[in-house]
Amino acid sequence: MDLKESIRQQASAAGFSDVGFADAATNPDNRANLVEYLRRGHHGDMGWMAEHVDRRVAPQGIWPEARSVIVLTMTYGSADGAHVEQAARGAISVYARGRDYHDLVKKRLKRVARWLVDAYGCQVKVFVDTAPVMEKPLGQRAGLGWQGKHTNLVSRRTGSWFFLGEIFTTLEIPPDRPESDHCGSCRACQDACPTDALRNPYEMDARRCISYLTIEHKGAIEPDLAANMGNRIYGCDDCLAACPWNKFATPATEGAFLPRAELIGPRLADLAALDDAAFRDVFSGSPVKRTGRDRFVRNVLIAIGNSGEPALKSAAADLLEDGSDLVRQAAAQAVSRLES
């Protein structure tokens, strides 16, 4: 059995859906694309994207000794589907309805990495979305998929409902053939975006993206964008759900990624009433926790304002004197929208 096949078997046993291999050298296109993206300001508040560009554009910028990158995917798709518009209930992105993926995926990566060290005496480093790794371009170079018009990685075998993780290694592993683009003339993801964040194919303006606005953006959300957020209170799956390639996706089998019942269409009134301690308790072990209570309640209040439900006015009015400026402003806007 050759090296790559051995790694694939170990990865499969650890719960990964697919595996690909890329070299660790610099790809000039990565630098050019990132620099242009930053120049346009499409990264919004995410200042960390502009830091350490040289490290970000190549695996060897992070770890000069790296020779190969093993890119792995783990499916998180849900049989419950993506966004459902319910006036009095919030919509949480599919990936965030279960446990936080970072710890679980890293634990499984370490399992494969330890085997690699024991079997081949190499050095390794593992990454899961917490270091300056351009993982989607790496995934395409490793043959796992291509960056679609929504900029997410799409696989002909497993769709796009999956997490990515990487093992950098000093081993010289023959790279796989990069995947080519298979979007064709389809623009389903662009048409599905509620806030027109995909005005041009293959270009995501994060400043208009609901996932960015509800998770990364720290301030108030512009009224014209807020009005199109509907009941989405953490993330957005619309561009993924619209992609025809997801007919090949399969629901997650990993128990940690299965949705918690209380996070499928939670009541907006209940969420608006959360103080900091209650927020931390409800979302313990969940990706949602990273936003903090104030930003999350801001999102909930926007959904309340969009609901058209007069019965929710009192839930917003109760927060008009909240200790957070951000929450007070969102509460006032919600009350105003419901009154009008």
Give the residue numbers marked as catalytic.
129
Strand, helix or coil at 155? strand
Q: Looking at beta carbons, which pairs linking 134-138 to residues 24 or more positions away fall under 8 Å?
A: 134/30, 134/34, 134/56, 134/57, 135/71, 135/164, 135/166, 136/164, 137/27, 137/29, 137/30, 137/33, 138/22, 138/59, 138/69, 138/71, 138/166
Token pair, residue 245, equals 């390639």
Count Cβ atoms within 10 A of the Cβ of residue 281 and give its class: 0-12 exposed, 13-18 middle, 19 or more buried: exposed
- List residues bridging with 167 in a β-sheet: 70, 126
Contact, 286 vs 318, CB < 8 A? no
User: Does an H or E element contain 35, and which?
Assistant: helix 28-39
Look at residue 153 and give its three-state secondary structure. Answer: strand
C-alpha to C-alpha distance for 211 and 25, rounded to whole angstroms: 31
Tell how far CA 202 is from the center of its chain: 16
What letter would DSSP give residue 257? G
Burial 301-315 (b: 16+ CB within 10 A, else e): bbbbbbbeeeebbeb
Distances in Å between the Cα of 245 and the Cα atoms of 61, 128, 145, 153, 159 are: 33, 24, 11, 11, 5
- Residue 160, phi then psi, degrees to nearest 5: -140, 10
User: At 75, which amino acid appears?
Assistant: T
List all residues 6 or more positions away from 33 whose beta carbon is below 8 Å from its beta carbon: 137
